[in-house]
Amino acid sequence: MTLLKRYVLRLFISLKYITANVVDRNNGRIVATASTVEHSIKNTLECGRSCNAKAATVVGEVLAMRLKVEGLHQGEGRGIHVDVNKEVEKKGFKNRTKIWAIVNSLKNSGVKLILDDNDDDNTSRPNF
């Protein structure tokens, strides 16, 4: 069994909610999660009927904090993998800003991320 991509970031984005999970692929378990569904996060946001990039940033910050508490913000030295292009493809182009808001928020909070996107010209990557 390979340990190359042990920890992977998975995102679930709808019009109303944003959820980010870090999954341990060796045993198929979620090791940390954050979502706008949680009362502690929901009450600090003014999403109304939809969640925006600001809400995505908060979700990323909370997930980073939880990863640090678990001691997994470095992904056991290997980092946490995220395939941005795959996430954009799954969630749709309209959610690209939310996806990058989560990714940038995690990176800015000290989480070691390994971007698995194969987009050499980075045309889908906004500048934050």
Q: Is residue 57 part of a domain?
A: yes
Q: Is residue 83 part of a domain?
A: yes
Q: What is the pLDDT of residue 87?
A: 84
Q: Is residue 126 part of a domain?
A: no
Paired tokens of 45: 């946001």
As a whole number, the mean pLDDT across the chain is: 82
- Cα distance between residue 54 and residue 99, in whole Å: 11
Q: Is residue 128 part of a domain?
A: no
Q: Residue 53 belongs to what domain range?
A: 7-115
Query: Which CATH number is 28's domain given?
Result: 3.30.420.100
Is the torsion defined by CA of 119, 127, 13, 69 positive or negative? positive
Q: Is residue 30 part of a domain?
A: yes
What would the pLDDT profile of 40-79 be if each residue is shown by its tens digit?
888 877 765 567 888 999 999 999 999 999 888 776 778 8
Q: Is residue 125 part of a domain?
A: no
Confidence of residue 118 (pLDDT cuts 50, 70, 90): low
Report the number of distinct structural domains present in the chain: 1
